[in-house]
Structure 1
Amino acid sequence: MVSRVIPVEDFDLVIFGGTGDLARRKILPGLFRRYLSGQMPDTSRIIGAARSDLDDAGYRDMVREAIAEFGGEEAKNTQELSAFIAQLHYVTVDAKGDGGWSELHEMIRFEAVNAFYFSVAPSLFGDLAERLHTYKIADKDSRVVVEKPFGRDLDTARELNATLAQHFDEKQIYRIDHYLGKETVQNLMAVRFGNILFEPLWNNHYVDHIEITVAETVGVGGRGAYYDKSGAMRDMVQNHLMQLLCLIAMEAPSVFDADAVRDEKLKVIRALQPVEPHHIVRGQYDRAGDEPSYREDAGNERSFTESFIAMRTEIANWRWAGVPFYLRTGKKLKARASEIVVVFKDLGHSIFPGDQERHRNILSIQLQPNEGMQLRVTIKEPGPGGMRLVDVPLDMTFAEALEGDNDTVDAYERLIMDVIRGNQTLFMRGDEVEAAWEWTDPIIQGWEARGDVPKLYDQGSAGPDDALLLMHREGRRWSQIKA
């Protein structure tokens, strides 16, 4: 089966922060891969905009080096790379001043789709938005892409949304969360709503509990100063895990349309129950030999910021009432893995004599590092000796069925192309962001008021022992964190 690549319209994409780490590692290599696939028109242009004093030639040299470092095997296609590089331009701009804005206005082709990627600190969003309109660079058809963090609490999120709303309509704003661009995340919606097999079982009559895990093997490293003001709750739970929770739990939208999908996600967030203090476990990774502790990485020996968090919550609606949702994420854990695990209930009665094992159907949806799905089913163990049951995984990665479809698309690639198409389905809406903070803020305020101290955990483990007890005391066990 060959992937069908549909070209997008002619566009001008301006990347503010075009010399930054995100642009070099993800955005520009991703755009090059889209160019190689034939999805990006030859007439389209990418305009880097930053404070650095560069010209077009200097910027092209920088991008060539970035793609050589982060572009993978595709970077060896020197002929196509040269053609792509020729589509790049650069302008030096002052986000808080007037320098460069007139030049940028002259560069923009208003007959093409115009998109502006704010790959900068949120504190600059307002300045950029104001100048885009003052200099008549953006209009009612322009699109703006903003990176997380979308605030650090409800008040700052509302302020950020209000700032953007002064210059852009909600339908022009694309709040990007790269988790939603992953193939398996989107496949989750296809599996749920495109197959009669799963949807009748997707409720509290058949599901015992659901786990969402995002585990990392790295520490905070060079992000220590930022991370220490954020922590796992703000950095991961409020956005990434919240979005995964919404997709796994939402009702079927009436149509596959951006606002219809986001309406259903919003209902899930608003139905989330408050989290009780005894249903939260916070942790910090400890020193391990020569490997520094979290506090050493963060440069703050008195830090109470969590590098790990696990919690139990429920959704107060008819579909999910009584079904626990367990969320966990952390750094310096035993493996890098992002996974959703749907554990179905036990059979009401086993007809097989002598079978004392608990056999449960378990659907595992792995988002990284190897995207795919597995359904654990119970079968007869091969061989003579009676009816002995064994659990085996049913592979649902579709690798063989889709053999030959080698166009593996990075999340950023897909999302940027969706911006050009004007498709907001995989982007967060302003009211979603605010609703997520409304649920998150009381949790953070609660542990701060109680003076809770994160539990130390060993690097390379599954987190603090208390996180295991979070499920053990209810007769459940976390799925193993496996790469």
Structure 2
Amino acid sequence: MNLFIFGATGDLVRRKVVPALLSLNHPNLNIIALGRREFTDSMYQALVCEDDECRKKFEPKYYKVDFGDSLVCEDCDKYLSKNETNLFYSALPPGQIEDVLKYVGLLKKGGFKVKLLIEKPFGTDLKHAKHLVSVIDQYGLQNDLFISDHYLFKDGVRKVRPRSFSKFKMVSLEDVGLEKRVGYFDRIGTLKDMIQSHFLNTIFRILNDKAEEFSDFKVDHYVRGQYLGYAKELGKKTETETYVSLGIKTKNKYLEFISGKRFDSKLGYIEIDGKRTDFGASKNDYKNVFSGFINDLRGDFATIDESILAWEIIEKIEMNKKPVVFYPIGMSSIQSIQNGL
């Protein structure tokens, strides 16, 4: 069984994906890594492996590929099989996913069995997401696509199942900053990075009729914050938010979402009608993602319809957008939840 990884030289693949694939310990899984950089197999292995165990077990084949209008990897063709399903995973930004969809779609039209796993978010905005749906329909990939949202594979989140409730609260505060995601993050901000996918996908898991529940929602409050020093990290002033506190009144429920970076401690939990469930350790998130993908277990993956609904919700929230307020690095996580910024 072969797994083709697009965007294989990125930080996500090194930090999360490679360790997850190693922990699966799949006996017949071959990795074909595709990236823009000029690497030999051994150079790529050195990039993504940080310990001897990885270097012993992880033996990928690496190929340089230009991700453009004509995504082609002729050297990779020898790894394609018509006898078993060909697996593809994309760690590329959402703006580049169309090329991958077309590449995999052409393979399907050529008689190959395919499955494709892509990272959230699905699209860069509502218009782009709808365009991607048209591409998926064009190539008949509706049943071959998996949308990864690793939050849905956290142990604490997986325990949350559909139920009746009145109040829902979700918190994810981090003590780290942007690390190697500064350029990408500044284009989207916390609302799209966290609320659009992780938080909304989680609430979708426990709503029986999510479209109806959000049909006429109201924004109760929407606070955008930015930690002091963010502009210096980025190299320019910006209105991108690194913190969001959001309250929403839906048809029958009240939802509260809080997410931010550079606080004094990491804190993550879900609270339903006053009962709190911590996210738990995140070591198995991506292991669970790839196990579900390889074994065709779709239950915890986000759907295309959910992704479109999430973008519709985000567009309405952004109509209430206000200037960012600034908060100090190391601000108390508990204080920010209790008193805001």
Q: Per the shorter chain, which TM-score range? A: 0.7 to 0.9
Q: Among 3, 19, 23, which residue is 2:9 paired with?
A: 19
1:416 aligns with 2:290: yes
Look up the equivalent residue of 1:85 and give its one-letter code: F
The Cα shift of 1:366 comes to 0.9
1:281 maps to: 223
1:294 maps to: 230
Cα distance in 1 for residues equivalent to 2:334 and 2:221: 14
C-alpha contact 1:179 1:411 (8 A) present in aligned 2 = yes
2:200 maps to: 242
Q: Are the structure 2 counterparts of residues 226 and 61 from structure 1 closer, same or farther at C-alpha, using a change threshold of 3 Å?
A: closer
> Which structure has the larger Rg?
1
Cα distance in 2 for residues equivalent to 1:469 and 1:104: 55
The Cα shift of 1:19 comes to 2.2
Cα distance in 1 for residues equivalent to 2:128 and 2:69: 24
1:254 maps to: none
C-alpha contact 2:33 2:62 (8 A) present in aligned 1 = yes
1:442 maps to: 316
Cα distance in 2 for residues equivalent to 1:139 and 1:14: 17
1:94 aligns with 2:66: yes
The Cα shift of 1:176 comes to 0.6
Q: Superposed, which structure 2 residues align to 1:343-358 within 5 Å?
A: 343=273
Look up the equivalent residue of 1:411 and give its one-letter code: D
Look up the equivalent residue of 1:296 and give its one-letter code: K
Q: Are the structure 2 counterparts of residues 97 and 330 from structure 1 closer, same or farther at C-alpha, using a change threshold of 3 Å?
A: closer
C-alpha contact 1:314 1:324 (8 A) present in aligned 2 = yes
Q: Secondary structure at the match of 1:159?
A: helix
Q: Among 32, 52, 72, which residue is 1:47 paired with?
A: 32
C-alpha contact 2:263 2:332 (8 A) present in aligned 1 = yes
Q: Superposed, which structure 2 residues align to 1:378-389 within 5 Å?
A: none
Q: Secondary structure at the match of 2:225?
A: strand
1:455 aligns with 2:321: no
The Cα shift of 1:455 comes to 1.6
1:160 aligns with 2:132: yes
C-alpha contact 1:170 1:429 (8 A) present in aligned 2 = no
Q: Are the structure 2 counterparts of residues 134 and 241 from structure 1 closer, same or farther at C-alpha, using a change threshold of 3 Å?
A: closer
Look up the equivalent residue of 1:230 and give its one-letter code: I
Structure 2: segments with no counterpart, 5+ residues: none
Q: Secondary structure at the match of 1:112?
A: coil
TM-score calculated relative to the size of structure 2 = 0.88
Q: Which moved more, 1:218-227 or 1:327-336?
A: 218-227
**Alpha-carbon displacement from aligned partner over 1:71-117 (angstroms, at most 9, x marks no partner):** xxxx5547xx53x334x222333333768622212222222221111
2:241 maps to: 306
Cα distance in 2 for residues equivalent to 1:173 and 1:232: 26
Look up the equivalent residue of 1:203 and give its one-letter code: F
1:116 aligns with 2:88: yes
Look up the equivalent residue of 1:314 and give its one-letter code: K
The root-mean-square deviation of aligned C-alpha atoms, in Å, is 2.9
C-alpha contact 1:12 1:46 (8 A) present in aligned 2 = yes
Structure 1: segments with no counterpart, 5+ residues: 1-10, 70-74, 193-198, 252-266, 287-292, 344-361, 372-408, 471-483
Q: Which moved more, 1:331-340 or 1:459-468?
A: 459-468
1:353 maps to: none
Look up the equivalent residue of 1:364 and give its one-letter code: R
2:58 maps to: 85
Cα distance in 1 for residues equivalent to 2:33 and 2:231: 36
1:150 maps to: 122
Q: Secondary structure at the match of 1:229?
A: helix
Cα distance in 2 for residues equivalent to 1:32 and 1:126: 28
Cα distance in 1 for residues equivalent to 2:155 and 2:42: 30
1:357 maps to: none
Look up the equivalent residue of 1:66 and give its one-letter code: V
The Cα shift of 1:274 comes to 2.8
The Cα shift of 1:124 comes to 2.7
TM-score calculated relative to the size of structure 1 = 0.64
Look up the equivalent residue of 2:19 and give its one-letter code: P
**Alpha-carbon displacement from aligned partner over 1:174-193 (angstroms, at most 9, x marks no partner):** 1111111112221233xx7x
2:45 maps to: 63
Cα distance in 2 for residues equivalent to 1:136 and 1:438: 31
1:169 aligns with 2:141: yes
C-alpha contact 2:71 2:103 (8 A) present in aligned 1 = no
Number of corresponding residues: 340
Q: Are the structure 2 counterparts of residues 437 and 163 from structure 1 closer, same or farther at C-alpha, using a change threshold of 3 Å?
A: same
The Cα shift of 1:33 comes to 1.1
The Cα shift of 1:333 comes to 1.6
Q: Are the structure 2 counterparts of residues 446 and 104 from structure 1 closer, same or farther at C-alpha, using a change threshold of 3 Å?
A: same
Q: Among 262, 265, 286, which residue is 1:335 paired with?
A: 265
Q: Among 5, 25, 30, which residue is 2:20 paired with?
A: 30
C-alpha contact 2:174 2:267 (8 A) present in aligned 1 = yes
C-alpha contact 1:285 1:456 (8 A) present in aligned 2 = yes
